Structure 1
C-alpha cells in the first residue's frame, strides 16, 4: 500500500500455495491474505481464486463438490465437463460455467489430446446457506470490448448473465497498453482484482502477472495497463452471510 495515499489498497505477490499433480497443476490465491489485519483466508463470500493448468489429454475423474459455487473462466483453450446429470459441456472463451454445488454435485473435467494446453481460473464462492438445490449454468457470454469491463456473474437477481448464491460480482477486461479503467465498485463493498496476463499500475503501485490487489472502503481506483493486460475483478460485500463447509472453497 502506498503510505502517501488515503486509499486502502493492499497488494499480494504471486501465491506460493500450489499443488502439482503432473498434468494438472493449481495455484491457490486467497483474497483474505491481501489484508494484513484479516484473519480469514477468504474475503467474505469469495473463498479462493484458483489458477489451474491442464495439459492436453488430461482427465480429472468424477468427484463431488458440496456447499460451494464453482465458476470456470476460460480465456482461451477449452475445458470439457461431464457430470452425473448427463451434461457434456465445453467451456471456452465464448462460454462461462457456474456449478452451484449445493447439497452435492458430481462432475469430471478433461482435455483431449489435440486440445491446447489450458490455463484458466476456477473461482470458489461461499454460498449464503448450506445444502441449497444443486444446479449448473453454462451460458454464452458477450464478446469482449477492449478497455471495457464485461460483467460475467453476480448475485441472483443481478443483470449478469450467470449467478451465484451470495454477494459477489465478477468482471473481466482486456486492456490495451496505456489504457486506463476504473475498478468496479459498489457502496460499502470492496474490490479484489487479479492480473491474469500483463501488468497494471494503481495508486502508484505496480501489479505484475499473477499478482493481486484488494481495495477496501474505496470510492474508486483507476488502473492503467503497463502492457497489454487481461484483468479480472470481484466486487464483494465483506459482511454478507457466508457458510464455510465447501469441499474446497471453505
Structure 2
C-alpha cells in the first residue's frame, strides 16, 4: 500500500513571522476520528523570523522531537533546562504528565529558523516529564540513513517513549532503499527537494508525504533532497490523551 499526502493538503497559516504547515500523516487513510498514523500524531513544518517568541505553553502526553534544519532557537522549560537548538543540536521533549516550554529566535539572529516539530503519541499517559539534547556531527547525513530517535531498545541518540523510529538522509542525484520496515508502517516526508518512486510513477516534492505498508520501494532524488523517514508500529500501545499529538 502506498498513499500520497500532498503538501497542498496541509492546513496552516499563510504568512507572518511564524509560519506553520501541519501534516496529519493518516489523513488519507479514512480512519474514522483519527488523522494520525498509529503512534505518529502529527508534525508541523515551521519557520520563525528573528525576534519571534513562542511563549511559554503546556504539553501533556506528547513526545516532541524538534528537528532543526536552519537557524538557532533558544529553548527554556519548566524542567529547568535552557539550551540553544541548532541543526546539529537536536531536542526531544518527553512531556509526560505536564511540561511547559518557550522557544525564541533571538533578535540578533541573521536568519529564520526552519524545523519540523514532531508530535508522537507516547505508549502510556502520565509518564514523568523529561527533556533530552543530542549533538550530531553533521546537520544531515549523505552516506546513508541516520537514526535520530527511537524507543529505548533501539539505543537511538534521542529516546522516544513509543514505537516510533525517526531517520533522516540527504539524497543527492542517487537512488536508495528505505530503511527495512520489518512488518512496520513507513512514512516518508520530503523536507526539501524532489524525489521519484521508481516503478510506481510517483513524484514527491517539498512537503509531500507517502504512507508505506507491505512495500519495498526505492527513492530516487531529482537533485539534492532532504528526507525524513518514520518507521512505526500501528499495533503498539499508545495514548491519545496528548494535548497536541492526540
| TM-score range normalised by the length of the shorter chain | over 0.9
**C-alpha contact 2:185 2:233 (8 A) present in aligned 1:** yes
**C-alpha contact 2:40 2:232 (8 A) present in aligned 1:** yes
The structural deviation recorded for 1:83 is 1.0
1:82 aligns with 2:76: yes
Query: TM-score when scaled to structure 2?
Result: 0.93
Measured on the aligned residues, the alpha-carbon RMSD in Å equals: 1.4
1:217 aligns with 2:214: yes
**C-alpha contact 1:137 1:162 (8 A) present in aligned 2:** yes
Per-residue CA deviation, residues 161-207 of structure 1 (Å, 9 max, x unaligned), is 11111100001101112x11111232220100110100000132000
1:182 aligns with 2:177: yes
The structural deviation recorded for 1:101 is 0.1
The residue that corresponds to 1:5 in the other structure is none
1:131 aligns with 2:126: yes
Q: Distance in 1 between matches of 2:155 and 2:181?
A: 15
**C-alpha contact 1:147 1:180 (8 A) present in aligned 2:** no
- Provide structure 1 residue ranges, at least 5 long, that are not aligned to the other structure: 1-7
The structural deviation recorded for 1:21 is 7.7
Evaluate the alpha carbon distance shift between residue 20 and residue 246 of structure 1 in structure 2; reply closer, same or farther with a 3 A threshold: farther
Question: Which moved further from structure 2: 137-146 or 46-55?
Answer: 137-146
The structural deviation recorded for 1:239 is 0.7
The residue that corresponds to 1:11 in the other structure is 4
Aligned with 2:83: secondary structure?
A: strand
Per-residue CA deviation, residues 130-160 of structure 1 (Å, 9 max, x unaligned), is 1000000011124243141111000112131
**C-alpha contact 1:24 1:54 (8 A) present in aligned 2:** yes
The structural deviation recorded for 1:114 is 2.5
The residue that corresponds to 1:238 in the other structure is 234
Evaluate the alpha carbon distance shift between residue 186 and residue 64 of structure 1 in structure 2; reply closer, same or farther with a 3 A threshold: same
Q: Distance in 2 between matches of 1:214 and 1:147?
A: 24
- Count residues with an aligned counterpart: 240
Query: TM-score when scaled to structure 1?
Result: 0.92
Aligned with 1:238: secondary structure?
A: coil
Residue of 167, 184, 192 corresponding to 2:187:
192
Question: Which moved further from structure 2: 107-116 or 228-237?
Answer: 107-116
